[in-house]
Structure 1
């Protein structure tokens, strides 16, 4: 098992400090046939429930992926990566996160005995910072935007292993398990609607369903206040980034944007943008049904309601993964 460059195909050791190729290309993961990641470190992962519900007369399956150990789908990626890093003898890591990925890595690193340093925007929700700190990770607050945090981490990555949920393809090896679970529960859906910032869920789902051999149409949702993927996909000028309630997907310069667009096109999917009012209303709608999600999770629900506003067909199978629990404030 090793990394290789998606551009020049040069090989790299997984345990090295390089997080991307010298040519600038991003890494992909090479595995021999049948090769798997050993999974000795566990926090009690579960196959998350799928609830069939009717939202504004639209029947959908809600995948409760916030019911993972640290409260978000990011546990899938952290589980896979931390297990591999422990096997390779990595003793300390750095990671940058707006919250959920940081909590996931902090929790799994604590279980694995790996020192964890989490860089995050200083305006990150206090609940997320409190959770990361509870796992005894070293929290480094960075002034400015989520992208400022991404820049700050690169200096630290010169001397400490960068356990990035964006650069490191081991993370997608974990998030692809979401596709396998959905397939086991209901088969191949017609549509799956996902929020996207750095695209960790999108790329994981795409990878998983490609391995299964059939793709659902992937509908990606972004916030109108920060929608670089939407703009590039629709070939529109990129608007200035503004503050958004959906902080978890507020990524102004996603590194794997071209891969995300390729995944959307390959699935014959689409991308839409929603405003904060729609996101908050979607969160409240689910709350009235007994489902408590964080605000960012409401983006996918809002996007689904908007996308199928005029073209809903009750014969369609639609899945909306819910990414984070409501206690993450």
Structure 2
């Protein structure tokens, strides 16, 4: 094990209450097989008057994070918030070190892995999370293997290889890729850097909302729109809004607007049906330009649906033509964003009644211009 401080927040299963030590490499609950949450009782409020002079990265919110004193940071976070219309602003998370918002969670996973000193790190991804994990493992000096589905953007696989990670291309879709990675994760000495199952990733993505809160003068917009596949940004946003509300740092919770591609929208369908879980979702997702959110069976589906409902939010879906139009519209405004990253703009760009923030969460160079 590394000589760095070990993590102290215990793992907690949200379904059955099972607990595990923070130093475990068990990547899921041994009782139900579901994703872990963290026991966050030790986290403290972020005081606005304490932020002056702090590091200009997501680590400035140290009281709210389950790890402190990182050695693997690349300066991630603190991305610009810019107005697009009178009511809609965009957070430019495509300006992260690996050109996507996934750096927020990947730095947490790599820092955790560094402290646990595994022989190897394994990750699976549709592209951006794998790129981010590869980059931060390179920063941490950790051997890394990334599993991706066949058909993943060549620009993303090139990035993964460039960071020195071993790339495994899996025949089939996202579910087959996850199974392959989980099989490899069972080998001794392996840390599974799962952006879905490991809650440290969510505590990284929640800094997205802390930054909006700080930039808007310690308040939040009426609504926060996020693209949803596995729901890592949405669940991070839900964590942040709950913490800020509990600590008396906001007086209301913004509505969470979850956006999915119409072609792959199992969560939107379940939400509209009033369901608490997914049922009967196909394993293989139909093709969509929004490859980053083409997830037919998200493991945290129950939590995602509950988080949207508790916020007073909703699900919206966008067509392939709307995605194409939104990408070109943003490019005409000076912002070249990948096709997954424009989904929220496609969904709420015409909002006129309430204030909304959308994430532009991946650079257009990752996928090119949709045709």
**Range class of TM-score, shorter chain:** over 0.9
Does the Cα contact within 8 Å between 1:17 and 1:157 map onto a contact in 2?
no
Cα displacement string for residues 128-153 of structure 1 (whole angstroms, at most 9, x for unaligned residues):
00001000000000011111111211
Query: Who is 1:281 aligned against?
Result: 325
SS of the counterpart of 2:71?
coil
Q: Secondary structure at the match of 1:303?
A: helix
Contact 2:256 2:308 in 1 (8 A): yes
- 1:11 Cα shift? 1.7
Q: Following the alignment from structure 1 to structure 2, what is the Cα–Cα distance between the partners of residues 272 and 30?
A: 31
Aligned equivalents of 2:204 and 2:345: distance in 1?
A: 23
- Give 2:315's aligned residue: 271
* Preserved CA contact (<8 Å) 1:15 1:85: no
CA contact (8 A) 1:122 1:144 kept: yes
> Quick check: 1:48 aligned with 2:79?
yes
Secondary structure, in 3 states, of the residue corresponding to 1:327? helix
2:100 corresponds, among 72, 88, 91, to 72
Q: Which residue of 2 is the match for residue 209 of structure 1? A: 241
Q: Is 1:194 the equivalent of 2:226?
A: yes
Matched residue, 2:261: 223
Please, which of 127, 134, 139 is the counterpart of residue 111 of structure 1?
Answer: 139
| 1:165-185 Cα shifts (integer Å, max 9, x gaps) | 000001001001011000001
What is the CA RMSD across the aligned residues, in angstroms?
A: 1.7
Find out whether 1:13 has 2:21 as its counterpart: yes
- The residue number in structure 2 matching 1:140 is 168
Extract unaligned runs of 5+ from structure 2.
1-8, 44-62, 246-251
Matches within 5 A, 1:1-329: 1-24=9-32, 25-34=34-43, 36-38=66-68, 39-54=70-85, 59-159=87-187, 160-186=190-216, 187-213=219-245, 214-235=252-273, 241-305=285-349, 308=351, 312-313=352-353, 316-329=354-367
Name the structure with the higher strand share.
1
* Alignment partners' CA distance in 2, 1:26 and 1:96: 15
Deviation at 1:272, TM superposition (A): 1.1
The answer to which of 169-178 and 206-215 deviates more is 206-215
How far off its partner does 1:32 sit?
Answer: 4.7
Query: What's the counterpart of residue 59 of structure 2?
Result: none
Query: 1:305/1:216 Cα in 2 relative to 1: closer, same or farther (>3 Å)?
Result: same
Note the C-alpha offset of 1:239: 7.5
- For the residues of structure 2 that align with 1:175 and 1:91, how far apart are their CA atoms? 26
Q: State the 1:33 CA deviation.
A: 1.9
- State the secondary structure of the residue aligned to 2:87: strand
Q: Matches of 1:145 and 1:46 in 2, distance apart?
A: 30
Displacement of 1:282 in angstroms is 0.4
Give the distance between the partners of 2:323 and 2:72, measured in 1 at CA: 35
User: How many residue pairs are counted as aligned between the two chains?
Assistant: 320
CA distances 1:233-281 after superposition (whole Å, capped 9, x unpaired):
1118878641000000000000001100011001100001111110111
Once the 2 structures are TM-superposed, how far is the Cα of residue 44 of structure 1 from its aligned partner? 2.2
